[in-house]
């Protein structure tokens, strides 16, 4: 936490196992820190020179809507980048030493931007060396609800196990030869053209220069897990079985890499259609729920 951050660490929830400890801020149900048994930090240092975020949740939409508005059935509605959940306090539902459940429900403020009666439950469970996060979106209203969801955690780069930043690798669980997407000429929106994959086989060697044009985006992804770290050293296995797309992002030079599993993405450059026509938008029928899991495991070679 930066010295300028008004939130007190005493307001955060803590869950632990013999192998991992996590703290979660009720504002945005944001994973604030993840440390190993020796207290070594596995997430961002939140240096304010770069980015003070830790792991915001992206809901009800991933990415930016063109003009920070979206159109629903002929009416325009305001929506900040990545939605509003990250700026809303979540209520405690239940907690024990190794698990936590937080909840956000629709209120007058959310309905002014998103006219749906939703519930977003965010669960955290530490099981030995794995932190399991599960977001569950429920439609409590009477009409189909358009939405997308994404995770945005920032992991330490370099991790605290030896090896320089340039020695770190992303190892996908499958080869990833498909072209990728990037941010286009309109800030925060997705370019309509594709770009050659920077992955060689199943391996990406990230550099700060890769992110000078903002995020790298995979919307034709085969893998549902990856390894992050230096081969031969303890690494993080990041699994995302319920999200088909992936973003990687950092501010060049910062000490983190965001590994962002997404179900949805920002508007394409020039998009003027209804939200139902936006790439990645899902329809949740009245009374239905949909869950999105992300597991972070500390593993040795």
Size of the chain in residues: 301
Query: What pLDDT does residue 300 have?
Result: 87
d(Cα 185, Cα 269) in Å, to the nearest integer?
7
Band of pLDDT at residue 255, cut at 50, 70 and 90 = very high
Residue 23: beta bridge partners? 14, 33
b/e per residue 156-179 (b: at least 16 CB within 10 A):
bbbbebeeebeebbbbbeeebeee
The backbone torsions φ and ψ at residue 81, rounded to the nearest 5 degrees and listed phi first, read: -55, 135
Contacts of 52 (CB under 8 A, 6+ apart): 2, 5, 46
- 29-50: pLDDT as tens digits: 999 999 999 999 999 999 999 9
Q: For 78-97, what is each residue's pLDDT tens digit?
A: 999 999 999 999 999 999 99
So what's the pLDDT on residue 10? Answer: 54
pLDDT (tens digit per residue) in 203-235: 999 999 999 999 999 999 999 999 999 999 999
Q: Convert the pLDDT of each residue in 150-178 to its tens digit.
A: 999 999 999 999 889 999 999 999 999 99
Quick one: pLDDT at residue 109?
Answer: 97
Q: Answer for the pair 17, 126: CB distance below 8 angstroms, yes or no.
A: yes
The model's pLDDT over 123-146, given as tens digits with 9 standing for 90+, comes to 999 999 999 999 999 999 999 999
Contacts of 157 (CB under 8 A, 6+ apart): 165, 168, 206, 250, 254, 255, 256, 257
Q: How far is CA 70 from CA 22, 64, 88, 94, 276, in A?
A: 35, 9, 20, 35, 10
- 22: pLDDT strictly greater than 70: yes
The CATH class, in words, for 12-299 is: mainly beta
pLDDT of amino acid 9: 56
- For residues 201 and 192, what is the distance between their CA atoms, to the nearest angstrom? 25
Distinct helix (H) and strand (E) counts, the chain: 1, 23
For the chain, what is the radius of gyration of the CA atoms? 19
Task: Indicate whether 4 pLDDT > 50.
Answer: no
State the pTM of this model.
Answer: 0.95
């Amino acid at each position: 936490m930066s010295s300028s951050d008004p939130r007190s660490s005493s307001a955060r929830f803590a869950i632990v196992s013999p192998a991992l400890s996590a703290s979660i801020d009720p504002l945005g149900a944001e994973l604030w820190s993840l440390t190993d048994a020796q207290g070594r930090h596995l997430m961002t240092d939140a240096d304010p020179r770069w980015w003070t975020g830790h792991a915001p949740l992206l809901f009800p939409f991933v990415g930016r809507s063109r003009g920070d508005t979206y159109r629903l059935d002929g009416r325009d509605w305001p929506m900040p980048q990545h939605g509003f959940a990250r700026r809303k306090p979540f209520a405690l539902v239940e907690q024990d030493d190794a698990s936590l459940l937080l909840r956000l429900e629709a209120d007058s403020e959310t309905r002014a931007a998103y006219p749906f009666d939703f519930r977003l439950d965010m669960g955290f469970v530490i099981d030995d060396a794995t932190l399991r996060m599960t977001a569950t979106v429920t439609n409590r209203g009477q009409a189909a609800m358009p939405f997308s969801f994404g995770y945005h955690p920032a992991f330490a780069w370099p991790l605290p196990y030896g090896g320089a930043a340039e020695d770190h690798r992303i190892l996908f669980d499958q080869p990833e030869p498909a072209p990728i997407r990037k941010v286009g000429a309109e800030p925060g929106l997705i370019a309509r053209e594709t770009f050659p994959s920077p992955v060689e086989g199943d391996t990406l060697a990230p550099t700060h220069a890769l992110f000078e044009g903002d995020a790298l985006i995979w919307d034709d992804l085969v893998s549902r897990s990856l390894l992050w770290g230096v081969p031969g050293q303890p690494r993080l296995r990041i699994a995302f079985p319920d999200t088909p797309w992936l973003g990687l992002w950092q501010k060049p030079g910062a000490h983190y890499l965001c590994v962002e599993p997404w179900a949805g993405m920002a508007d394409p450059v020039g998009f003027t259609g209804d939200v139902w026509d936006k790439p990645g938008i899902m329809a949740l029928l009245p009374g239905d729920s949909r869950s999105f899991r992300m597991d972070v495991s500390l593993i040795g070679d």
